[in-house]
Chain A
């Protein structure tokens, strides 16, 4: 365990003295002091092999007097004994009196040299490379490289367009052999699948022919690849990255709620990438969650409100659809309705669903449990992103507990109206035979399914990337979805639909924005007291203590390395 109050050490960076907690990696210290040191192989969550040599800097230790105390200069600061050779700063921690120079002529010459070496055998195919625009080779070449090429030889030929696995494609000519992907696979994904073969300048990255890079974390290798060697089979050649609008969000495919960036252009989602949050997902996310956004662009999207007339679902205006539904529900107030809510709904939506239930006078409200195999990395067995929200807001103290009751009440005819919010009743055992018995079956959803055809009214709503709202992940962290793209057709924000339905039922209205919904929640739920939706930071906020999703991936190897280093420098 890291010391909560580590002692501070003094480090001189480019002439100015700074203080850092003991144990700070030198390359991080330089960055914190405003002197970013370029790097390829170093990744703070992985072990440090020190192989790219891009982070070479000048380093020196304090000069010691005969009394073993540091010699001080005229300003009373320790004098530095500079080492003649440049040193890497990615593999050592700060130490008392250490001096570094990150911008000296020698350092610049080192970087120029490494940049040139990295580029001589590189194909320089930026115009057709997916990494262009977010490529460290490009970036550092501009900042630290030379303008001209002195290389008159044939480049080393290497394999291209290798399918390392179903989701990751490799171009070995672009690879700079930093080994980040190898270390990630081994240290984080626990799947030692990648390696280097051959030797010297002919070294290539590969997997064994009998084993593919197909673990559920394979696409993280694409994220951490500093160049265009590893590309995503899903994303490649779809969009130049500089056209992407980036929206901070989180993944709703399981209770972990990995923080993400959604990359969109002109209303279309092109990719999801993990966003660092050490309290949730470190720097990673699973492939399943990352790629789980295609359904938002599905042909089965519900695009306009529908109302059953002459036994056929007919398009209607929102106003008419909601009025019709309200009129249909009114006869059954007080015990003859049930609500099938979802653990994929936001807190705001769940709150309004609970309000609706109260208005309808029913206690038959539940969310549909959704589980799958989890792992000890990030993926939770609970595939509902907001089970904790449903629990906290009183919609479902234990998800699925009321479902059998609802089912039975439908069959017995006690229930005349069912409202399903983003769930398919057939999938939780309420088959179409049950649905056929219901005089009123209201569907609010984003996709059509086998149950939709039995609906008396259909209300098209929005997916996770199309709306704002909050959820509470498996570890009790309140996080906020932000709208990345507009919804399709006439689909409306779920909370607005619910508000309007409530309003159509009782006529009152005091809710104008989603912030108002959250305010109502915060006024009655003590765990959220004093919060506002806008104030939830990008990294979320711990609101309840619970332990439902796996720990963020520990960096066992990093710890090990640090332990090794502590042994080496027993300060």
Chain B
């Protein structure tokens, strides 16, 4: 059956295909799938075949994508589709009771979790609602959150779930004023009542002046300013931005691509969301300066699929910038052509990994590439030199040009320069984002003064300082930094100090856990995230991440055996450092650190004897249900042991 595709839809598809080089039509796979799902509600078999034919590829190539990216559905959802975030900060704030409440209100009998790969989409009997758990929606500071269709709803208390479903319900967008300890560059306009995303507002506040200044400089001068600034990537790895840029040869013959990584999805991180939603033009300006510096004529903003509003805002910002001739043909009358395109993801955390992102942008499953040989700066998008930078990093470029690299480097500490946005979520009084001078504040200042400290009557038990993959720090420990020993509260919030303390600054997502938290439960929630998000390309991560999750789940349900902590640790050790990409570390570090820091809690849930290796075999269900695990008489018959191998024949 050939579906009838309306002319308008097909026109939009043609336009999307035009965003990519003519011989790279496959790149339009995700955009076409989004357009199809927006129109038809789900991706039918006919849709897969139709899109494949449109792009000149095999249907299997599209089926591979539909099943890889969880946002794509192969069956209709309800008229209103609810996505409840179930990742750590939201789960701590009540996402699970919220889900139960919503399911009850919409009369949805949710399918049991855990059998398949995706969280199941369940539809209400009247077809009005459908509901699913999703992984981190990058709004951890306002947990718990959910999305109803494209709208984000924040601070949704389970008891007020009914209000959510009321027709007049509108998203909550209250912004707190800056804290006195903050030093705002990137966020200086975020949360201002009088500030809008319009280009006029941006221009009124001095917008695009830095671009005008930059184009008067030579390319090498800009790269050198960025190098001098000491700016380190804000996406997670903290790689020096200027060094990355200098991998691009000034006389490069192939096209050079710039990709803005707006796939913000590390649990605990929610900074790029606000830049995009509230001050998009500074990102556009930062990117334009970068394009000019790197001789880039085509740049893509890879924005996660769960930011549909963000994508619309950026589309509009690009149109406005084009109307003002900041981009497009002959930008600023300099004879320099530069185009920006928005490319939406579809719910895969691994797209945050730069080579996974590139594969995704090429219209494939987001399988990270092996390095060597596929270093993006050499063999990136379409095997051309490519620079992938985080949203916040690219915004900083604008300020580096504004104040000069040397002046910028005076902010923060040596090797940890500039400001960065720290996102605090979890068990604090005032979760939220804070832009701080890197290293100028301590963890204690951020958590206790800015975020209001622990909730009344509670004590902080542990902190995950750089997104959920960062190793957990235990309150009460002392940490050996370069020159001194400090308490957790005294650790300066910068790259090097957090690394010295045995964790990392990562993406700036600080998740605070208080003394009410069960560490096995916490780790299990994190493990579920990574098991769900593992792309499955390489063996250790694919098999190990799910195995770790299954062990912690069984321990939680009362089936823990004495060997479990040792097994867990060893499984994590067998993943970290042995995978294609850094996801291996990301999924192993939580387990490794939780086990070392909280051994007693894990031991307490691992009390049963190890079941015998010979039949009868025990299922996990039996391990959970039975209080005693009998050993098999055959396996432990002393006669066998004595006879040894001689007894075999």
Sample (8) of A-B pairs whose CB atoms are under 8 Å apart = A48-B370, A49-B537, A56-B578, A116-B574, A121-B543, A153-B620, A203-B117, A210-B49
> Do A200 and B63 touch across chains, with their CB atoms under 8 A apart?
no
Contact of B58 among A154, A199, A211, A568 (CB under 8 A): A211
Contact of A51 among B378, B383, B538, B613 (CB under 8 A): B538
Q: Which of A50, A86, A151 has the most CB of B within 10 A?
A: A50
> Do B537 and A51 touch across chains, with their CB atoms under 8 A apart?
yes
> Do B574 and A199 touch across chains, with their CB atoms under 8 A apart?
no
B260 within 8 A of A: no
Q: How far is the CA of A200 from the CA of B378 in the complex (A)?
A: 28
In the complex, besides A203-B542, A206-B63, 5 extra interface pairs with C-beta distance below 8 angstroms are A52-B539, A117-B542, A152-B620, A153-B547, A211-B59
Q: Which of A152, A195, A565, A567 has the most CB of B within 10 A?
A: A152
> Do B577 and A195 touch across chains, with their CB atoms under 8 A apart?
no
> Do A85 and B577 touch across chains, with their CB atoms under 8 A apart?
yes
> Do A53 and B540 touch across chains, with their CB atoms under 8 A apart?
yes
Encode contact with A along B507-549: 1 for CB under 8 Å, 0 otherwise. Answer: 0000000000000000000000001111111111011111100
Chain A: minimal CB distance from B580 (Å): 6
For A91, give the chain B residue with the smallest CB separation.
Answer: B370
Report chain A residues within 8 Å CB of B623.
152
Given the interface contacts A152-B618, A176-B539, A193-B60, does A200 sit within 8 Å of B574 by beta carbon? no
Q: How far is the CA of A569 from the CA of B116 in the complex (A)?
A: 42
Report chain A residues within 8 Å CB of B444.
none
Report chain B residues within 8 Å CB of A505.
none
B67 within 8 A of A: yes
> Do A193 and B379 touch across chains, with their CB atoms under 8 A apart?
no
Q: How far is the CA of A52 from the CA of B547 in the complex (A)?
A: 17
Report chain A residues within 8 Å CB of B70.
199
Report chain A residues within 8 Å CB of B574.
109-110, 113-114, 116-117
> Do A567 and B64 touch across chains, with their CB atoms under 8 A apart?
no
Given the interface contacts A91-B372, A92-B372, A211-B59, does A200 sit within 8 Å of B578 by beta carbon? no
For B70, give the chain A residue with the smallest CB separation.
Answer: A199
User: Measuring CB to CB, which residues of chain B are less than 8 angstroms from any residue of chain A?
Assistant: 45, 48-49, 57-61, 63-64, 67-68, 70, 116-118, 348, 365, 367, 370, 372-375, 378-379, 383, 531-540, 542-547, 550-551, 554, 561, 563, 567, 573-575, 577-580, 611, 613, 618-620, 623
> Do A199 and B578 touch across chains, with their CB atoms under 8 A apart?
no
Which residues 547-571 of A sit at the B interface, judged by CB distance below 8 A? 561, 564-565, 567-569
Chain A: minimal CB distance from B66 (Å): 8
Which residues 128-181 of A sit at the B interface, judged by CB distance below 8 A? 148-154, 156, 176-177
Given the interface contacts A117-B543, A199-B117, does A150 sit within 8 Å of B536 by beta carbon? no
> Do A564 and B543 touch across chains, with their CB atoms under 8 A apart?
no
> Do A200 and B535 touch across chains, with their CB atoms under 8 A apart?
yes
Report chain A residues within 8 Å CB of B619.
154
Encode contact with B along A35-71: 1 for CB under 8 Å, 0 otherwise. Answer: 0000000000000111111101000000000000000
A541 within 8 A of B: no
> Do A198 and B370 touch across chains, with their CB atoms under 8 A apart?
no
> Do B554 and A568 touch across chains, with their CB atoms under 8 A apart?
no
Chain B: minimal CB distance from A193 (Å): 6
Contact of A53 among B372, B379, B579 (CB under 8 A): B579
For A56, give the chain B residue with the smallest CB separation.
Answer: B578
Contact of A152 among B543, B579, B611 (CB under 8 A): B611
Q: How far is the CA of A148 from the CA of B610 in the complex (A)?
A: 13
Q: How far is the CA of A462 from the CA of B375 in the complex (A)?
A: 59
Report chain A residues within 8 Å CB of B551.
152-153
- Total number of residue pairs linking A and B with CB closer than 8 Å: 173
A207 within 8 A of B: yes
Report chain A residues within 8 Å CB of B534.
199-201
Given the interface contacts A121-B543, A198-B67, does A152 sit within 8 Å of B561 by beta carbon? yes
A192 within 8 A of B: yes
Chain A: minimal CB distance from B68 (Å): 5
Report chain B residues within 8 Å CB of A195.
58, 60-61, 63-64
A208 within 8 A of B: yes
> Do A210 and B539 touch across chains, with their CB atoms under 8 A apart?
no
Given the interface contacts A200-B531, A202-B116, does A49 sit within 8 Å of B577 by beta carbon? no
A279 within 8 A of B: no
Q: How far is the CA of A151 from the CA of B618 in the complex (A)?
A: 11
For B57, give the chain A residue with the smallest CB separation.
Answer: A192
Chain B: minimal CB distance from A106 (Å): 10
Interface size on A, residues (CB 8 A): 56
Chain B: minimal CB distance from A146 (Å): 11
Report chain B residues within 8 Å CB of A117.
539-540, 542-544, 547, 574
> Do A113 and B383 touch across chains, with their CB atoms under 8 A apart?
no
> Do A120 and B543 touch across chains, with their CB atoms under 8 A apart?
yes
Report chain B residues within 8 Å CB of A211.
58-60
Report chain B residues within 8 Å CB of A393.
none
A209 within 8 A of B: yes
Chain B: minimal CB distance from A186 (Å): 9
Q: Which of B58, B116, B365, B619 has the most CB of A within 10 A?
A: B58
For B580, give the chain A residue with the smallest CB separation.
Answer: A50
Contact of A177 among B373, B536, B618 (CB under 8 A): B536
User: Measuring CB to CB, which residues of chain A are less than 8 angstroms from any residue of chain B?
Assistant: 48-54, 56, 85-86, 88, 91-92, 109-110, 113-114, 116-118, 120-121, 148-154, 156, 176-177, 192-203, 206-211, 561, 564-565, 567-569
Contact of B60 among A150, A194, A201 (CB under 8 A): A194
Q: How far is the CA of A174 from the CA of B70 in the complex (A)?
A: 25
Contact of B542 among A49, A177, A565 (CB under 8 A): A177
Report chain B residues within 8 Å CB of A53.
538-540, 578-580
For A84, give the chain B residue with the smallest CB separation.
Answer: B577
For B365, give the chain A residue with the smallest CB separation.
Answer: A196
Q: How far is the CA of A13 from the CA of B531 in the complex (A)?
A: 37
Chain B: minimal CB distance from A61 (Å): 12
For A114, give the chain B residue with the smallest CB separation.
Answer: B539
Report chain A residues within 8 Å CB of B68.
197-199
Given the interface contacts A51-B537, A207-B60, does A200 sit within 8 Å of B620 by beta carbon? no
Chain A: minimal CB distance from B62 (Å): 8
Q: How far is the CA of A431 from the CA of B142 in the complex (A)?
A: 89
Report chain A residues within 8 Å CB of B613.
148-149
> Do B60 and A113 touch across chains, with their CB atoms under 8 A apart?
no
Q: How far is the CA of A509 from the CA of B538 in the complex (A)?
A: 67
Contact of A153 among B370, B372, B542, B554 (CB under 8 A): B554
Report chain B residues within 8 Å CB of A176.
539
Contact of B373 among A110, A116, A565 (CB under 8 A): A565
Report chain A residues within 8 Å CB of B67.
197-199
For A151, give the chain B residue with the smallest CB separation.
Answer: B547
Chain A: minimal CB distance from B646 (Å): 20
Report chain A residues within 8 Å CB of B550.
153-154
Across the A-B interface, give the 8 residue pairs with the lowest CB-CB distance, nearest first: A113-B574, A202-B117, A117-B543, A568-B373, A203-B536, A197-B67, A195-B60, A201-B546
Q: How far is the CA of A259 from the CA of B277 in the complex (A)?
A: 64
> Do A86 and B577 touch across chains, with their CB atoms under 8 A apart?
yes
Q: How far is the CA of A53 from the CA of B17 in the complex (A)?
A: 36
> Do A88 and B370 touch across chains, with their CB atoms under 8 A apart?
yes
> Do A197 and B63 touch across chains, with their CB atoms under 8 A apart?
yes
Report chain B residues within 8 Å CB of A569.
372-373
> Do A192 and B618 touch across chains, with their CB atoms under 8 A apart?
no
Q: How far is the CA of A53 from the CA of B536 in the complex (A)?
A: 13
Q: How far is the CA of A91 from the CA of B59 in the complex (A)?
A: 29
> Do A199 and B540 touch across chains, with their CB atoms under 8 A apart?
no
> Do A193 and B539 touch across chains, with their CB atoms under 8 A apart?
no
Q: How far is the CA of A567 from the CA of B619 in the complex (A)?
A: 52
Chain A: minimal CB distance from B517 (Å): 25
Report chain B residues within 8 Å CB of A156.
546
> Do A52 and B538 touch across chains, with their CB atoms under 8 A apart?
yes
Chain A: minimal CB distance from B169 (Å): 33
Given the interface contacts A53-B579, A200-B531, A210-B49, does A91 sit within 8 Å of B538 by beta carbon? no
> Do B373 and A86 touch across chains, with their CB atoms under 8 A apart?
no
Chain B: minimal CB distance from A307 (Å): 59
Report chain A residues within 8 Å CB of B532.
200
For A40, give the chain B residue with the smallest CB separation.
Answer: B539
